[in-house]
Amino acid sequence: MCIWKEWKKIKTRYKNLVKLGLNIYKAWEYANTRKGYWRISNSPILSRTLTNKHLKKMGLTSILETYNLKHEFC
């Protein structure tokens, strides 16, 4: 949700969705959505493009992995 919120303008959302591999028609459709940030956060718009694999490549860790590392030896 925070990444989608950073892309405030439609043009920015469109460019970034195309960079993530979405075709241009779906990217334009998704970039022009009127849904709020909370509704977008669990929608196919982000679940198809910003996968866990992509977020890991960006250097972000999942909350579950962090929790498991901290509580591994308990």
Q: Which two tokens stand for residue 5?
A: 């919120």
pLDDT of residue 70: 86
pLDDT of residue 35: 86
Looking at the 3D structure of the chain, how many domains does it have? 1
Q: How far apart are CA 25 and CA 33, in angstroms?
A: 13
Please answer whether residues 4 and 30 qualify as being in contact, where contact means their C-beta atoms are separated by less than 8 angstroms: no
Residue-range definition of the domain harbouring residue 56: 2-70
Give pLDDT < 70 ranges for the chain: 73-74
